[in-house]
Amino acid sequence: MKRLKQQKITEEAEQRRLATEYEQRKHQRILKEMEERELEEAKALLQEKFGKKTKKPIIEGVSNFSQIFFCCDKKFISHGI
């Protein structure tokens, strides 16, 4: 009887752990999708502003757009552009 009660407690704890893990992964996936969307929007804005004429980075030495833009309170702050 005591063993069954302990097993039930263990199973409930495992269910809570799995539910928490699921929610964390869901949250991480949503944040990743938001970051990817924001990055694509930033790329589109840069392409719109500067055109597609050059393959060189807009800012010399910076090839990754995430290095150009820093996310602050979910708003992009442009550095030098």
Domain boundaries, the chain: 2-78
Please tell me the predicted confidence (pLDDT) of residue 1: 86
**In this structure, what token pair is assigned to residue 46?**
């840069």
Please tell me the predicted confidence (pLDDT) of residue 53: 57
**H-helix or E-strand spanning residue 38:** helix 2-50
Which tens digit of pLDDT belongs to each residue from 21-74? 999 999 999 999 999 999 999 999 998 888 765 555 555 555 555 555 544 444
Distance CA 11, CA 19 (A): 12
Distance CA 64, CA 8 (A): 51
